[in-house]
Structure 1
Amino acid sequence: MTKVVDANLVVVNWKLWKKLGSIASFKRLYLCVPSSKDVYTARSVFTSLVHLKICTCETEWVNLLMRVLGDSPNLRALKLDQCHPLRSYEPRPCWNPSWNEPSSVPECLLSNLETFEWVTYEGAEEEIEVLAFVFRSAKYLKKAAINIHSKTNDTDKKLEVIKELFSSSRGSPACVLELR
């Protein structure tokens, strides 16, 4: 699979995933997987990966995000989206309160990430923490676009939280914030 440049991977069968082989050569990658465990072999480094999209519909999306960020030193664009709508009878995937912010910031946030987009931002606890981490850590961020999705009328409150996070913790003074 050394010639693959773009890949959209939604994994429901781990046997199929293991047959795909290495994803280290991908430049653009979309991931929606149920677990960050065994997604790819340990100590993999994705030096070619410059665009990453992660679906936030699965319970362990934050763990997956942090793992891939840590292994993608040249990442320039990050997009988060809940691509698969949750059915009304399904609760939102549980936030893992044992997740702690990494002790070291992934290299891509310190040196390369230029654009960050969150398509379906709902303002849940884990989303606020991830957003604060990205704003605080991405030293070369040029553009951040947040699309606020709200099932209630608290959109103004979510807007204020995002503005506060952006102004108090952003790493890049040249970054433009776009709220939708």
Structure 2
Amino acid sequence: MSSKTAESMRWHHDGRTDDGLLRHPADSLAWKTFDQKFPSFAGDPRNVRLGLASDGFNPFKIMSTSYSTWTVILVPYNLPPWICMKQSSFILSMIIPGEKGSGNDIDIYMQPLIEELKQLWVGVETYDVLKKENFNLRAALLWTINDFPAYANLSRWSTKGRYACPCCAAQTCST
């Protein structure tokens, strides 16, 4: 409903310099491949591309305690680079408190978010204040941003031992 926000959310399409240099996630091969694979999604620049960041931290700064809090944050990458990585643009989707880290049980906490992301993939009707029309807004999760222990919890991929590298898999040199 904000014309300033609506304009910023189209920046990746309308205002970005496309000169072959990597200045924004829209310049990346992953973004371009996604657009080729899902042309109906890419056809409307108002559709939102998201990154998901998650990691645990000790909120009391006492290393001897096992208490851990996990945040799950969504980052809207449609925005210009000087806005998308500002704290005010982050979407804090959940906080997972606990005596220990959520570990492999993080998927239980993530289920409501996953259901909402599935709904956003299909789309929800919303209003575009710039064009003064309703449209079907869709969203897609393109990336996760995390360290290897968090990656292991989110993806259920073991990042230790024989298959530690998610890219190399069976070809990982474990010596």
TM bucket, shorter chain: under 0.3
Q: Which has the higher helix share?
A: 2
Q: Which has the higher strand share?
A: 2
Structure with bigger gyration radius = 2
